[in-house]
Amino acid sequence: MGIANVNGRTEKDSPSSSPYNTIEAQAIARWVSDNKSSLTEFKSGSKALCDVIAIITPFKKQIECINHALKAYSNLNGENITVGTTHTLQGAERNIILFSAVQADDGSHQFIDQKPNLLNVAVSRAKDNFILFCDMKLLAKSRKGAPSGKLYQYIKEQGIPYEILPTIEYKDILSSDTNRISTLEKHVSFLDSIFSDANTGENITIISPFVRISAVKHGNTLNAIKQAVQRSVKVQIIIGRDERIDQMSALKLLACTGAEVLVIDNIHSKAITVRKRIFAEGSFNWFSASRDKGSMYSNYESTFIYTGDKVEIYIKYIKDDLAKLFRSGKRKWKRIKCD
């Protein structure tokens, strides 16, 4: 048995929805990616990864979260690793079972105490090793007679060592190739380069809370977007709803480039993503910041641009967050058409 301690966070999209732990899902995917070579050579054999390991979790939402995290690692593409509940394996076994407990030391309860047989069934699916991914701080607080308490006591009595797994946070992204820009000229140049340097088939998403016709018409931006779209680059522009008079005119100019333009309530992020290779985030409003340095509305702005190997994971989470906003039905949104 092995223990992987993850300092995660339990999340829920609504009070009644299935809980999930994004940080724990990331840690599991990273562990599998880092250990792929040794796993496929388990017991001096040469096996497909999907025949060696499976990942079990009690929560449906965590299954989705782990699958997303696994897809972020190129060396795991096409591995078809089974991720599901104990019922997913239907009596089948693997050499190694990874168990994602989900609950973290943030006030959430121990689900395994409600269904004590859950962990036993999960362990029975492992032929050689069972690795529990959990928050040890929460486990240590378990009531002694409860299943989680008995598990913690067993770990202590047996002296089972546990590995404290690194979790992917913004500090990890900072170790990637990072550039910071802080002048108007560099922001405008970066925005235009996003479109001119995009490759055929790439996806670009730009999130800007506001839009102004003076900013949209400035320089070569509209032409750069149009040329990118003509090269089969998919451009998506997401703008926060704004009641100012010139917003609709600016939105239509953007839509007429061939970009998909969406307006949604209560957006205040300022970010750009390009496929799996660029993630930029900062204070600059991409389609509304004043392009006149002498204007009283010209502010000091800065943006961090990340291009390292961790970027792909955060782009995926931004995309997932946006998808939730549009699906939730709680925020009004509309697609702008070119008339």
**3-class DSSP string for 32-53:** HHHCHHHHHCHHHCCCCHHHHE
Please state the separation of Cα 163 from the chain's center in Å: 23
For 125-145, the pLDDT digits (tens) are 888 888 888 888 887 777 777
Q: What is the pLDDT of residue 52?
A: 92
Same domain for 296 and 234: yes
Same domain for 150 and 9: yes
Domain span at residue 289?
Answer: 171-336
Band of residue 277 on the pLDDT scale cut at 50, 70, 90: confident
Same domain for 266 and 226: yes
Same domain for 145 and 210: no
Supply the CATH number for residue 40's domain.
3.40.50.300
Same domain for 175 and 163: no
Same domain for 161 and 259: no
For 2-22, the pLDDT digits (tens) are 788 887 788 887 777 888 888
Whether the pLDDT of residue 245 is over 70: the answer is no
Same domain for 12 and 105: yes
* Domains of the chain: total: 2
Same domain for 263 and 321: yes
Kindly state the percentage of the chain with pLDDT values over 70: 88
203 phi, psi to nearest 5 deg? -110, 130
Supply the CATH number for residue 184's domain.
3.30.870.10
Q: What is the pLDDT of residue 170?
A: 44
Same domain for 203 and 55: no
DSSP state of 211: -
